[in-house]
Chains A and B, each alone.
Chain A
Amino acid sequence: MLEFRKDIFADERDDNLIEVGQPTARQDILGHVTGTSPYYDDHRFGNLLHLKILRSPHAHARIRSIDDSAAARAPGVKRIIRAADVPVNLNTLLSLIQFGKDDEPSLASDVVRYKGEPILGIVATSERAAIEAMALVRISYDQLPAVFDVEEALKSGAPSVNAAYPKNTFEYYGKYDHQKLRYGDVDAAFKQAEIVIEDRYQMSPIEHAPTETNGSIAVPDTNGRFIVYTSTQALFFSLDTSAKINAMQSNQLHFIGGTVGGGFGGKVDTLTEPLSILAARLTGAPVRYRFGRHEEMQFGSPRGAERIYVKDGIMKDGRIVARQVRCYFDSGAYTRLSSYAVVKCTAHIPGPYTIPNVHADVYCVFTNRTPATAMRGFGVTAVDFAMECHIDKGAVAVGMDPLEFRMLNMYRDGDMKAHRRQAKNTALIECAQVTAEKANWPLRDEFRRMSSRTGGSLERGGVVDRTRAPALASAPKLAPTDAGAGRTRAPSVAPPPVVPQRIAYERPMAAEPARAAPPQQPASRSVPTPSAAPPASSPAGSTHGAARFSSVFGTRRR
């Protein structure tokens, strides 16, 4: 059940929220439960034609010849669409924001670069007629060597996948073959580190598998315009992409969508609209291009695979002092959105942790696999998986509780991130505390009293230098095996016998609530902390709650 905690950062919030905290119904749910929500395929047109696509059976091959003469004469077939019919037969999705070279044809003409790549369109009076005609098309191929592994693709002599990027890597700013993140001095830090942990992580491609497959219906309108009913998740992105490929003005296209039968990122690639519009132009009739389930799984782009090598340098007191990462993102045969995914991947390599020395190289690699695309946090999910697995290994190595190990390293207000942006409005420590409380996960007192607001580098004069910090001298160390089995640790183990706790690396500990203060606690270490009861009012001069909370404007805490 939902629970809204208002005791945390209570002095920084006005209770003027209208929707948050209230249950609310989806605006479209009545249509969903009555079966009346208008998905793209719920629109009906007389004389609807159907477009089916002949796809490559090979992962990498040169097309020697195509004979579609028998298919063109087959019953019900109205039109064959070939590569030469596509007005602008080379595109990359992010060209709309001038990012990357046009590298992907709508219909392949000379080379196919992945299994399932579109070659030929057949427009017929029924899907069945189109599929039957497809069997009459004769294509001869010269198979080419294919590469399916990101690291193999970067070796010299590897088959070149993508003609626009012959070295099999996306080019950033026209010259860099990967994204770099450099912060501090990892080599020096690894020499100082007391523990170094290295490992390799891998994630396979993941298919979104929406229950509604990708599809669209293009309908000729008056004045040379076309109305397009579509399953796209990105209506105007798809509109502009379709306009470019068809060499049309965008005001000649009227896209209708918004009711999407599941997308999760798999419906931003504009896979069907350009060709259904082209087919409608060439036939003068409404045309539907709908993926079958097999097409959705084979040709619908997945979340891209990633291979990640991680090396962390850790001090025995739990500080992560260095991180070095090499990551290969599998873009498949074409770029689509993977170049952007790699940027996001690079940004997430430090995670929500303050690591003073970070060194990362992330490659966007072309292979003869299905091109990858967006999917819920793409570029981030795999790297976060790898980093959090690695953090767990670090916790075991130093004999700390995995949550406390994380909390020790989490961003606090004023910390400098590896991307040279200062952390502000941080709240992860508090989230961890509430999570531990809800999960009955025992935290030691000083971790229960930790705050995102104190101990950040701003309090230390804005300088991030944790290497000079005192070690966590008296923290009770768990045996590594205990740390690995933290779930079984009894809460009573957490507080150390008598010794007052010292917190790690120059983060002043917040004062304990009175009920918990041990007699040994030196008064001089007291630092103001939010009490359990929320303060009665906001600080004087406070502005509207939404503005103060905004991390965009950064006005909440400073």
Chain B
Amino acid sequence: MKTPIQFILNGEEVAAFVESGSNLLDTLRESVGDLSVKGGCWQGTCGTCTVLIDGVPRVSCVTLAETCAGKSIETTAGLRRGPDLHPLQTAFMERFAAQCGYCTPGMLMAAKALLDRNPNPTRADVVDAICGNICRCTGYEPIIEAVLDAAHGDARHRA
């Protein structure tokens, strides 16, 4: 038995039929077609599938789809505005903050949640914001630098 749900995805209204017990990750990828969200552990531990629900970072693999009805969901697919990249995306590119790129969408959303509520974060704030997101390639330092760059402009945080 499938249930219809509606929610806002990156500012657009979307609808999907979901099986009872489906998670938001599968709903976004399989029903809605937003492939920018990646699954890493399907048990809520790695942070790869992080999306924003009403501005709050959530692991979509252990979020029941039905609980998202009427909510506003943000994913990496919605970061870009036409040809213009979000400052976080530019900073991640310039800081070499992605290697395999698989954790990057979740990392970007965790960072966006931070910058949306605190445009002037310290390094400790950044570390805290991404502490639920596992990256196996970069060693985190380029990611932390990139988030600080996106907030403060290139290298200003070092002053």
Contact = CB atoms under 8 A, between A and B. Distances in A.
| B is a partner of A | yes
Interface of A: 25-26, 28-37, 39, 41-42, 44, 208-213, 259-264, 292-293
A260 B100 contact: yes
Contacts of A260: 100
Interface in B102-150: 102-105, 108, 134-137
Contact of B136 (A29, A32, A33, A211): A211
Interface string B77-103: 101100001001100111010111111
A32 B106 CA distance: 11
A35 B137 contact: no
Interface stretch (B38-46, B52-60, B64-72): B38-46
B43 A212 contact: no
B24 to A, nearest CB: 16
Contacts, number: 93
Contact of B98 (A26, A212, A292): A26
B92 A33 contact: yes
A212 B38 contact: yes
A36 B75 CA distance: 12
A259 B80 CA distance: 22
A37 B105 CA distance: 11
B27 interface: no
Contacts of B105: 35
Contacts of B75: 35
Contacts of A29: 92-93, 96, 98, 101
Nearest to B100: A262
A308 to B, nearest CB: 26
B37 A33 contact: no
Contacts of A293: 40-43, 45-46
B89 A34 contact: yes
B135 A211 contact: yes
Contact of A211 (B48, B76, B93, B96): B48
B137 A34 contact: no
B110 to A, nearest CB: 14
Contacts of A32: 92, 98, 100-101, 104
B152 to A, nearest CB: 18
B14 interface: no
A256 to B, nearest CB: 16
15 contacts: A28-B101, A33-B85, A33-B108, A34-B85, A34-B89, A35-B37, A36-B36, A39-B38, A210-B100, A211-B103, A212-B38, A261-B100, A262-B102, A264-B136, A293-B43
Given A26-B96, A30-B93, A212 B102 contact: yes
B32 interface: no
A33 B41 contact: no
A208 B101 CA distance: 16
B15 interface: no
Nearest to B96: A26
B76 A35 contact: yes
B36 to A, nearest CB: 3
B144 to A, nearest CB: 16
A210 B102 contact: yes
B39 to A, nearest CB: 8
A28 B101 CA distance: 9
A42 B35 contact: yes
Given A32-B104, A35-B76, A264-B136, A211 B40 contact: yes
Nearest to B34: A35
Nearest to A42: B35
Contacts of B103: 211
B136 A262 contact: yes
A262 B92 contact: no
A39 B102 contact: yes
B93 A25 contact: yes
Nearest to B103: A211
Given A44-B33, A293-B42, 12 more contacts: A25-B93, A26-B96, A26-B99, A28-B101, A29-B92, A32-B104, A34-B36, A208-B136, A211-B40, A212-B102, A292-B42, A293-B46
A34 B100 contact: no
A139 B100 CA distance: 40
B104 A33 contact: yes
B64 to A, nearest CB: 15
B126 to A, nearest CB: 17
Contacts of A208: 136
A442 to B, nearest CB: 28
A485 to B, nearest CB: 28
A344 B105 CA distance: 37
B112 to A, nearest CB: 12
A42 B80 CA distance: 19
B42 A211 contact: no
A31 B88 CA distance: 14
Nearest to B101: A32
B35 A210 contact: no
A48 to B, nearest CB: 9
B85 A261 contact: no
Nearest to B89: A33
Interface centre among A30, A41, A211, A263 (most CB of B within 10 A): A211
Contacts of A259: 101
From A30, A44, A261, A292, residue with most partner B Cβ within 10 Å? A261
Interface centre among A25, A209, A293, by most B CB within 10 Å?
A: A293
A44 B35 CA distance: 10
A33 B93 contact: yes
Contacts of B104: 32-33, 35
Contacts of B93: 25, 29-30, 33
Contact of A210 (B85, B88, B92, B136): B136
Nearest to B91: A33
A293 B105 CA distance: 19
Given A25-B93, A293-B42, A34 B76 contact: yes
Contacts of B99: 26
Nearest to B134: A211
B108 A212 contact: no
Contact of B79 (A31, A34, A209, A263): A34
A210 B88 CA distance: 23
A35 B102 contact: no
A97 B39 CA distance: 35
A533 B98 CA distance: 38
Contacts of A28: 101
Contacts of B108: 33
A41 B37 CA distance: 11
Nearest to A296: B41
Contact of A34 (B48, B80, B96, B135): B80
